Structure 1
Amino acid sequence: MMTIADRPESWPVVSSEDIHRDGWVVALRSDQVRRPGDDGTGEGEPFRRLVLEHPGAAIVLAVDADGQVLCLQQYRHPANIAFVELPAGICDVPGEDPLEVAKRELREEVELAADEWVHLASVWASPGITAERHHLYVATGLTPVSRGDFELHGEEAEMQVFRAPFDDLYAAVLDGRISDAPIALALLLARAKGLA
């Protein structure tokens, strides 16, 4: 009988070639991979897999004392959509705890700090092409803070910050008006775990 759980596993990589690497936080490479075989050294013809390297991200479902969720509306060029999203940021400092990333992003994007933090889940964004993980948190006990010397740029400079009732956002996910995966998953998990 199969155990209902993910399991760590690594297949032999015959070769790896960078397709694009420019010093930013993401890179694209091409790996030649083999099935592991009985002895673990690999068997059969190698097959190509593209891998988008990404350090992961922390996402914050910040809920105030009135049950309002801090949201952003932000343009995302690859999709040509201004998504309703949660404060989030890339884990771009090697070794940094994702919770610290979440705290930093809450401060920088919406100028808030939180007294209480609950880890909802860490999930793989799209494991068929990237090892990007999303670390989802609920933050409560919100207080205003300064973003310090952090400056918003690019799409962030145009994002709109707003509050919306948790139940309204939840309904918008269920009926398809909100389609950003991290906010949808955070809302569904928070409701399922009785946190909102």
Structure 2
Amino acid sequence: MTDELRDEPLNPEIISTEVPYRGAVWDIRSDTFRYGDSEITRHYVDHTGAVVIVAIDDQERVLLIQQYRHPIRHRDWELPAGLLDIEGEELVIAAQRELAEETDIVAADWQPLLSTYTTPGGSNEIVHFFLATGLSAAPDLHAREDEEADIRIEWVPLADAVAAVLDGRMRNALLANGVLAATLRRTGE
């Protein structure tokens, strides 16, 4: 049964679609679609998608960043990540770009880790996670602005990051998914 257990694509007839709000990063879309005998209207965040990097060094430390996130009014701990906002860019290239831009770190080895929908009831955002190893410093490639201007970078033992997630001290969903998946991958489970 485990090989058969998977999400199923479904493409209902779209009766109408509009974008009542266009944002700088993502839009709000309104679709009316036929589902069975019903016509249903749903509003959702129409998102470009993103990449997340779980960068682990030779000492089994994971690279975390802390930055201010206005909707939650916290400086939360996160993994380096970024939008898929360059048309046609390969996922691993986007991940490499984002790691360098946010942390001035490059990696020699890249492995896909997992992909998740962040909030499938309210957004079409899909996030692709990569495990990055063979890390080294890169030249300062990116001028950081706004919330990125005061990013704090920390190397944290992977086990400590997992403990902080499981204890509820770090609540960022992408961080939780990334460190838990990396732990399972690295222990061979």
TM-score, normalised via structure 1 length: 0.90
Q: Letter of the aligned partner of 1:134 in structure 2?
A: V
Q: Which amino acid in 1 is paired with 2:158? A: F
Number of equivalent positions: 187
Kindly indicate whether the alpha-carbon contact (under 8 Å) linking 1:16 and 1:30 is maintained by their aligned counterparts in 2: yes
1:65 maps to 58
Per-residue CA distance 1:151-183 (angstroms, 9 max, x = gap): 101100021111111111110011110100111
CA contact (8 A) 1:109 1:147 kept: no
CA distance in 2, matches of 1:140, 1:4: 31
Q: 1:75 to 1:191 in 2, by over 3 A?
A: same
| Counterparts of 2:22 and 2:140, CA distance in 1 | 31
Q: Which residue of 2 aligns with 1:164?
A: 156
The one-letter code sitting in structure 1 at the alignment partner of 2:76 is F
Distance 2:156 2:49 in 1: 26
Query: Residues 1-196 of structure 1 correspond to what in structure 2 (within 5 A)?
Result: 3-22=4-23, 24-35=24-35, 37=36, 43-44=37-38, 46-148=39-141, 150-194=142-186
Unaligned runs of 5+ in 2: none
The SS at the match of 2:113 is strand
Q: Contact 1:113 / 1:144 at 8 angstroms: preserved in 2?
A: yes
* Structure 2 Cα separation of the partners of residues 105 and 6 of structure 1: 29
Distance in 2, Cα, partners of 1:74 & 1:195: 30
Structure 1, unpaired ranges of 5+: 38-42
Instruction: Provide the C-alpha distance between the structure 1 equivalents of 2:176 and 2:18, rounded to a whole number of angstroms.
Output: 35
Percent of residue pairs identical: 36
Misfit runs of 4+, over 3 Å: none
CA distance in 1, matches of 2:77, 2:25: 24
The two structures, once aligned, show a CA RMSD in angstroms of 1.7
State the alpha-carbon separation in 2 of the partners of residues 62 and 129 from structure 1.
Answer: 29
Instruction: Output the amino acid matched with 2:119.
Output: S
Q: Report the structure number with the largest CA radius of gyration.
A: 1
Q: Distance in 1 between matches of 2:151 and 2:20?
A: 32
SS in 1 for 2:186: coil
**Contact kept? 2:158, 2:183, Cα under 8 Å:** no
Task: Give the secondary structure class of the aligned counterpart of 1:59.
Answer: strand
Alignment deviations for residues 107-149 of structure 1 (CA, whole Å, 9 cap, x no partner): 111101101111111111111111111111111110111132x
**Letter matched to residue 7 of structure 1:** E
Contact 1:71 1:161 in 2 (8 A): yes
Secondary structure, counterpart of 1:178 in structure 2 = coil
